[in-house]
Amino acid sequence: MRAVKTIKVNKPNNKKQFFTPNRFYVVYGFIIFAIICLIVKMAVLQIIEPDKLIAEGNKRSLRYQDMDAPRAMITDRNGRALAVSVPMYDVWADPKIVVQKGGVKVNDVRWQGLANTLNIPMSTLEQKLSNPSMRFVYLSRQITPTISDYLKKLKLPGISFAKTSKRYYPAAENIAQLIGLTDIDENGIEKGSEGIEKSFNKWLIGESGQRVVRRDRVGRVIEEIERTESEAASDLTLSIDERLQSLVYSELSQAVEFNKADSGTAVLIDVHTGEILAMATSPSYNPNNRSTLDYNLLRNRAVTDAFEPGSTVKPLVVMAALEKKIANLNTIIDTRPFYVNRYEIKDVSYQKALNLAGILEKSSNVGVSKLALQMESGDVVEFYSRFGLGQPTGLGLGGEVSGSIAADRTRKWADIERATFAFGYGLSVTPLQLARAYATIGSYGIYRPVSIVKVTEPVKGERVVQEKIAKTVVQLMEAVAVTGGGTKASVPGYSVGVKTGTAKKLAGGRYVNQYLAYTAGIAPATAPKYSLVVVIDNPKAGQYYGGSVSAPVFSRIMGGVLRTMNVKPDRQVDGQMIIY
């Protein structure tokens, strides 16, 4: 039987095989168009608008870091530090990085070490660093380099350190009100503080620098782009002598405590240069311990508080009388009580008649009133103004008040106004203004501006009264310390010219039963070098007269100053010259 051969026949493919050029061209065109758009965009970004692309990138990666200049040091006239910046560190955290790295781990000894060192409860630390939307949180400020070194060794994620500084005041409370305070960023503007730190802030801060860096996405610095170095400011040298400042503050503080007074103020000036050698206020505060800071103690009362100067202006009235030839050293004044515009003018101790020396020795209100009433209406006010009373000192310290004195010197003054002006009522001055006036007396009539910075060039000044007249009044003031009401202001071995004063305080426009006791003077009287004013506010231990309260303080301070400055004694004690 023959085999049958099977032949496979391929069936024709009924599917349509075709190519559509139009569809191809459309797709091809879209691809070409997209490529062209990309090329154009790249050209725009790279050639036409490259700065915009760079700016966008820099916005994400570049950081500008200010580099503050170190705050300048404040020194006394001999180079002793009064304010200096000490290196410190701030500790801060980036919560986003902390969270990304697992957050605060309560059982991790490193996190426990951070919390314990910074005295932050672990729960508080965990809460502070749990919000990833925050990128900056201070954990502590102004820690010491030793503590910073320890914390850096913990190598905690998201924890960083910034170098800073803290202001330190070596003289502490001795000079606190004059120097003032800085805030935590050392800006010299601590609330309520009106001292050197604030008033001379621009001098002390220097020129800040800047650093431009590039950071990666986790905040690490990967490149420094640019750096402008900061320029440190020059140190500020004050006219203050720290030795004398400490002496003045110590004696003043003891007097305030002994007399149970509200406060005390003292100002010491070099009469030949106008330099302020000491300016103290008590009670004071420790500027290195802010935890117990009482803002009521920040005020520098030597420039912020004005008072009626009372009898301390009487030497100026006598000087004016001599200049205008109303009286001479031999003139006898009737000092019995008398009436002016229905007001009685009288003295604490009755004296029938006194010469000019006696008027100052006995501090006669009647005597100076009668001298003033013989002058022209505005003469006393004009004479006070020559010596700077009631006028700003131009010292540059914030918070300084100018006091008050008659603005219109040409008007017709009532007799009672002229009389009370003569014994220091009806005007107000600051302790600094009064010290400046006595420095003018001590320089025998040469008025010099006061300065809180060290003076390197001679200060010529302006003559406001004849030298002969000024010397005569200085001699009369010396007698006050020998036989008058200022005997407790005398200094063994030295001649001093002083005038004590006592005035009732004003409160709410009325005189109250509180007193200001003050003593102003110069030494040595034979060749004056220093003027000193001491004010004790509201003594409550029994005595309140200047001759009893402030005069002994004047004696101790001026005696200490003269000995410290090696001034040769010019008077004998019990027939013998004192040698220190």
* Tokens coding 146: 């030793």
Give, rounded to a whole angstrom, the gap between the first and last alpha carbons of the chain.
161
Number of residues assigned to the chain: 580
Q: Using CA atoms in the order 501, 507, 508, 512, what is the torsion angle rounded to 10 degrees?
A: -90
Which segments of 314-436 are extended strands (E)? 333-334, 338-340, 343-345, 353-354
Annotated active-site residue 250? The verdict is: no
Q: For residue 114, give the 3-state DSSP assignment.
A: helix
Residue 538, class by beta-carbon neighbours within 10 Å (0-12 exposed, 13-18 middle, 19+ buried)?
middle
Strand partners, 84: 168
Report whether 331 contacts 472 (CB < 8 A).
no
C-alpha angle with apex 51: 45 to 54, nearest 5 degrees?
85
* Tokens coding 225: 């782009």
Containing 213, the helix (H) or strand (E) segment is strand 209-215
Which segments of 385-529 are extended strands (E)? 446-447, 462-463, 497-507, 510-523
Instruction: List Cβ neighbours of 272 (8 Å cut-off, separation of 6 or more).
Output: 443, 448, 459, 529
Q: For residue 376, give the 3-state DSSP assignment.
A: coil
Instruction: Say which DSSP state 48 is in.
Output: I
* Nearest by Cα to 515 from 556, 555, 549: 549
Give the chain's count of helices (H) and strands (E).
20, 21
Instruction: List Cβ neighbours of 528 (8 Å cut-off, separation of 6 or more).
Output: 271, 441, 442, 443, 444, 474, 497, 522
DSSP-assigned states of every residue in 307-340: B--GGGGHHHHHHHHHHTTS--TT--EE-S-EEE
Amino acid at 129: L
Q: For residue 348, give the 3-state DSSP assignment.
A: coil
Residue 243, class by beta-carbon neighbours within 10 Å (0-12 exposed, 13-18 middle, 19+ buried)?
middle
Task: Considering the candidates 246, 311, 369, 451, report the single residue annotated as catalytic.
Answer: 311
Instruction: Say which DSSP state 537 is in.
Output: E
**Which residues does the annotation mark as catalytic?**
311
